[in-house]
Structure 1
Amino acid sequence: MQVSIDHAVATPPYEQLRAQIAEQARTGVLAAGLRLPTVRALAEQLGLAANTVARAYRELEADGVVETHGRRGTLVAATGDTAHRLAADAATEYAARAHRLGVTRDEAQAAVYGALDLVYGASPSGSS
């Protein structure tokens, strides 16, 4: 596993680590079932606090990218497109909640586009 932390950027180290591991798992660079380094070992390797690595691992587990198995360690999950499934689940939950709140379909869609623009940046064409 090749990861690096750039302390000169605004992105927190745990997020840099989380994003790199998630991308490597998504693209198959990290094979399903691969055992990741222990929190302590990776923290030492990267010059980070153990809590920083632990936070990245917790977020990766919450996102379904890795699975923690006690003494067996942290393993790359057999994703089968976990990110897309989790995103679809979140979208379904949002749609159901917006509907319960009496928000129209157009209003709910506008809220989603606004949130996407905040997170990903405005779309190149300027329209949502």
Structure 2
Amino acid sequence: MSDLPRLEIDPASPTPPFEQLRRQVVAHVEAGRLAPGDKLPPIRGLATDLGLAAGTVARAYRELEAEGVVVTRRRAGTVVADAALAVTTRVQRAAADLAAVAHEAGLDDGAVVDIVRAALRSR
């Protein structure tokens, strides 16, 4: 198990603290600084270290679990999920980004699906 990379919260940021924390953990997983099976600190301990309410850290952990980035196991705590789940999370985020860009561009759902199908065929 590796040491947890440094996590920081910017209180002046317009991004809510739970989202700052969530994004940092995802970035560490994607960069390989957190590997599958690495244990995240307990909610209360991390909350104290970051000067946050325990509920804020708990929300970040819940969202990370919902995305498949981490899993919570009784007695083992919260750990980074296996690599397959992390890949799925990246693909889901890319799809959400695509949907947002397509919406901004005024494309309808059918056009977006056609673009994705063409991209898959061209691989």
Q: TM-score, normalised by structure 1?
A: 0.68
Aligned-partner Cα distance in 1 for 2:35–2:78: 13
Q: Any idea what SS the aligned residue of 1:15 has?
A: helix
Note the alpha carbon deviations across 1:73-118, whole angstroms, 9 max, x for none. 0000112312244458x78xx9xxxxxxxxxxx6215689xxxxxx
Aligned-partner Cα distance in 2 for 1:84–1:73: 23
Matches within 5 A, 1:1-128: 1=4, 2-80=6-84, 81-87=87-93, 107-109=108-110
Q: Tell me, which stretches of 5 or more residues in structure 2 are unaligned?
A: 100-106, 114-123
Structure 1 pair 14–7 and aligned structure 2 pair: CA distance change class (3 A): same
Note the alpha carbon deviations across 1:21-42, whole angstroms, 9 max, x for none. 0110111101110011000010
Q: TM-score, normalised by structure 2?
A: 0.70
Structure 1 pair 7–109 and aligned structure 2 pair: CA distance change class (3 A): farther
User: After TM superposition, what 4+ stretches of structure 1 lie above 2 angstroms from structure 2?
Assistant: 84-88, 109-112
Considering only CA atoms, is the larger Rg found in Structure 1 or Structure 2?
1
Please report the RMSD computed on the Cα atoms of aligned residues, expressed in angstroms: 2.4
Q: Any idea what SS the aligned residue of 1:3 has?
A: coil
Aligned-partner Cα distance in 2 for 1:21–1:84: 13
Aligned-partner Cα distance in 2 for 1:49–1:109: 44
Greater relative contact order (Cα 8 A, min sep 6): structure 1 or 2?
2
Identity percentage of aligned residues: 52
